[in-house]
Amino acid sequence: MRYHNITTDDMLNGDGLRTVLWVAGCTHHCEKCQNPITWDIDGGIEFDEAAEEELFQKLAYDHISGITFSGGDPLHPQNRAEVTRLAKKFREMFPKKTVWLYTGYTYEEIRGLEVVDFCDVIVDGEYIDAQSDPKLHWKGSANQRVIDVKETKRLNKIVLFD
Ligand code: SF4
C-alpha cells in the first residue's frame, strides 16, 4: 500500500483529536474532489515499516481519540488487505480508542468486508459537489452518511452517529 501523509491532532475527520492515515488510490473520481492528487494507486510513498512505526507512535498519545483512515479511498480494492490489518492491530493495541474510516463506496457496497468489524464509524459515499455544504459535520456533501457501525450492525439498519 502507498500513502500520502500521516497527520495528527486532527479535529475535522472524526470525533476528538485524531491521527489520520491518508492512503493513495481512489477510483471514484468525484467531480471537484479536494484531493485528486490521491487518486493514483501508485502515487505517494510506500507504507513501509518506518511509516507504520510513526503511525502507531502518534496513535499512542493519551490525547488521541483514535485512528481515521482517509485518502484516497482506504477501501480501494488494493488497499483493503493492508487497511484491514492495520485496523485489527490498532483495535488490539488500543481497545479504548476508536476507528473511523472514510470511503467513496456506500455502506451497502462494503458492509460485508472484514474491516467493517473493526470500525466504529464509517463515513460513506462519493462527494457530490451539488450537495456540498461547509456547515456539514465530518462530511463534505449531504448524500454522505456518518454511520455508527456497531449500532447499524446490531439493529440491522443504518444508524447515524451524532
Ligand atoms: S471518494 Fe473522496 S478521494 Fe475519492 S474522488 Fe471522491 S472525494 Fe476524492
Reading the chain (162 residues) residue by residue, the pLDDT tens digits are 999 999 999 999 999 999 999 999 999 999 999 999 999 999 999 999 999 999 999 999 999 999 999 999 999 999 999 999 999 999 999 999 999 999 999 999 999 999 999 999 999 999 999 999 999 999 999 999 999 999 999 999 999 997
Ligand 1 proximity of 74 Cβ (cutoff 6 Å): no
Ligand 1 proximity of 72 Cβ (cutoff 6 Å): yes
Contact 18, 101 (CB under 8 A): no
How far, in Å, is the centroid of ligand 1 from the Cα of 87?
21
Ligand 1 proximity of 126 Cβ (cutoff 6 Å): yes
What separation, in Å, do the N-terminal and C-terminal C-alpha atoms of the chain show?
Answer: 31
**Does residue 160 lie within any of the structural domains?**
no
**Does residue 56 lie within any of the structural domains?**
yes
**Does residue 135 lie within any of the structural domains?**
yes
How far, in Å, is the centroid of ligand 1 from the Cα of 127?
6
CATH of the domain at 32: 3.20.20.70
**Does residue 21 lie within any of the structural domains?**
yes
Strands 145-148 and 2-10: unpaired
**Does residue 46 lie within any of the structural domains?**
yes
How far, in Å, is the centroid of ligand 1 from the Cα of 95?
29
How far, in Å, is the centroid of ligand 1 from the Cα of 118?
22
Amino acid at 16: G
Residue of the CA atom closest to atom 1 of ligand 1: 104
**Does residue 19 lie within any of the structural domains?**
yes
The C-alpha atoms of residue 56 and residue 46 are separated, in whole angstroms, by: 16
pLDDT the model gives residue 149: 98
The C-alpha atoms of residue 30 and residue 20 are separated, in whole angstroms, by: 21
pLDDT the model gives residue 162: 76
Contact 3, 51 (CB under 8 A): yes
Query: Is residue 61 packed enough to be buried (19+ CB in 10 Å), middle (13-18) or exposed (0-12)?
Result: exposed
> How many domains does one find in the chain?
1
Structural domain harbouring 59: 2-155
**Does residue 161 lie within any of the structural domains?**
no
